[in-house]
Amino acid sequence: MAAPKQQAGAPPLLAGGNPQIAKGAGDAPVQAYIAAMPGWKHDVGRRLDALIVRTVPSVGKAVKWNSPLYGVEGQGWFLGIHCFTNTVKVAFFRGMSLHPVPPGASKSGDTRYLDIREHDQLDEVQLAAWVEQASRLPGERM
């Protein structure tokens, strides 16, 4: 399989096409990450970010460990995004408390994942419901 194509001047892509973005708080580093997501993953990143902001207008954002994180002030981080070779993985840090529980299992007892592949149809109603539920739970302190 060919390596993900990268635009000139774009941040380097790590394993699986994950953008290497400097750690930072706020919308700017998250938007830099989304802009650097390769190919079809870029559109998925834009859609996820827009859905999260629509669902939780006061959401806080940061990039840590080359992954955008979303959280609520005083509660911690409730969701993270990461690019892999064939998926964009959405991590719900308290996913076992969501209804229904997101489908992807984790080595961490409470985390659940949603893997989005290139030709998947996003169920935005379900995704928004998970985001809304997750935003009301105690988050991760990272």
Render pLDDT for 51-102 as a digit per residue (tens, 0 to 9): 999 999 999 999 999 999 999 999 999 999 999 999 999 999 999 999 999 9
Residue, of 126 and 141, whose pLDDT is higher: 126
Q: What is the DSSP letter of 121?
A: P
Q: What is the pTM of this model?
A: 0.91
**Which residues, at least 6 apart from 94, have a Cβ–Cβ distance to it below 8 Å?**
78, 110, 111, 134, 137, 138, 139
Instruction: Pull the structure tokens for residue 11.
Output: 């941040």
pLDDT category at 108 given cuts 50, 70, 90 is confident
Strand bridging mode 60-64 / 24-25: antiparallel
Average pLDDT, the chain: 92
Q: Give the residue extent of every domain in the chain.
A: 25-135
Reported CATH class of domain 25-135 = alpha beta
**Which residues, at least 6 apart from 140, have a Cβ–Cβ distance to it below 8 Å?**
71, 76, 77, 78, 93
Q: What is the DSSP letter of 120?
A: P
